[in-house]
Structure 1
């Protein structure tokens, strides 16, 4: 279990200790919630398989996608401060998670500097991701937003040992547009443009980035 619940940059003894606090695994079917906004914070979750979107609901009932979380990434750290979750985490495909009780993780971090460092790095990554969203929405053109989104996915896939150039888009284009602050039609138009320009190829949800460097220059 440890290989999918925690990066193996930890020493073997820390991995073994971490393995003892993973209380269970949970399967979350597509469309189901792992947790809801305002739920009491008890655990963080490492995505074993599948993927999730985090969303907040506007007062008028509209959904705002705030992030996508892939296998090997962590969910739930948004609740550390307020001790309640600030968003809903919804599976966008059949998924499974490792449940890590936060009280046990906190105690273990107090004993292990390397694990503490890993947790802080993960939290820092979440902060960077949120600030990147603000930049996407505030300063980039539609073309740049979609290109940056695809490059971000490429980097995250590569970090987990998968191809940086060829992968499946687990989210719908509508969900992608919601996250990027764009209409579905605009997202589709950008994909068509990138294909015409020879930057990528698409087959359903399968994406192949033909020219990573050119996509980065958009």
Structure 2
């Protein structure tokens, strides 16, 4: 007799979206097979987005959360003068759209960085299933909490003085996310432009390009356009801590 709850292999699901898009919500929660199938039934067919296509715009009505199935997206805000501030980059398996939970309207915009596909989770149906499956509700709260933590980390990163530490922290955070998604955390693909990275970090693009070159010279990275291999994760971690150590030394 099959146990009520097992370690899930999402590849057993018949729906093509289930094996990827529900990874964040299902695998860590230990949801039983029957409940997983109920969740899987809420997923709409995947949507394809060409590079530069918008998933949603500021002011759009909130109907669903989205899981990146392939490719990548960026979320950003834009003021009346047209100035853009990038808020986050989103990788396969990650969920976006939480910005609209408070007001039922999106307060940011989401754009595909490359040809991408997303799976849609209609929020009303997701809420219904989550209310009936406590493990799913807990996991959904964990995912939302992680989004808040990432926003705080971004604010702290932009307030730091050392540009090298900012870029190192960005790359290490990306590596950590790769590891969480069971991808090679030393082979990073950067679908975003150098301008996007600079905007996200609050730097100028020339500084970002110079820092990549410097980190290559130090033996930390190997950079080939949008492909970055982390050669020395220990040195990368040390660069993330360098500014904090310097400040403690100055304070002493």
Q: Is TM-score (shorter-chain normalized) higher than 0.5?
A: yes
TM-score, length basis structure 1: 0.97
Distance 1:60 1:189 in 2: 29
- Match in the other structure for 1:92: 113
Shift of 1:140: 4.5
Of stretches 100-109 and 14-23 in structure 1, the one that deviates more from structure 2 is 14-23
1:213 aligned onto 2:229: no
Question: Which residue number corresponds to residue 139 of structure 1?
Answer: 160
Q: The residue matched to 1:59 in structure 2 has which SS? A: coil
Indicate if the aligned counterparts of 1:46 and 1:75 stay in contact, CA closer than 8 A.
Answer: yes
Asked which structure has the greater CA Rg, the reply is: 2
Residue in 2 aligned with 1:71? 92
Tell me if 1:4 matches 2:20.
Answer: yes
Is structure 2 residue 170 aligned with structure 1 residue 149?
yes
Question: What's the counterpart of residue 246 of structure 2?
Answer: none
1:16 and 1:206 mapped to 2: Cα distance?
37
- Contact 1:2–1:15 under 8 Å retained in 2: no
Q: How many residues align?
A: 218
Name structure 2 gaps, 5 residues minimum: 1-16, 240-252
Bigger mean CA offset, 59-68 vs 178-187: 59-68
Return the structure number with greater relative CO, CA threshold 8 A, min gap 6: 1
Q: Supply the distance in 2 between the matched residues of 1:62 and 1:139 (Cα, whole angstroms).
A: 22
Q: Aligned partners of 1:159, 1:107: CA distance in 2, in Å? A: 27
Per the TM alignment, residue 31 of structure 1 is displaced from its structure 2 partner at its CA by 0.1
Partner Cα distance (2:49, 2:139) in 1: 26
TM-score, scaled relative to structure 2: 0.85
Q: Give the root-mean-square deviation of aligned CA atoms.
A: 0.9
Is 1:118 matched up with 2:139?
yes
- Per the TM alignment, residue 14 of structure 1 is displaced from its structure 2 partner at its CA by 2.4
More strand by share: 1
Q: Which runs of 4+ in 1 moved over 6 A?
A: none
Contact kept, 8 Å, 1:33 with 1:89, in 2: the verdict is yes
Measured after TM superposition, the shift of residue 32 of structure 1 is 0.4
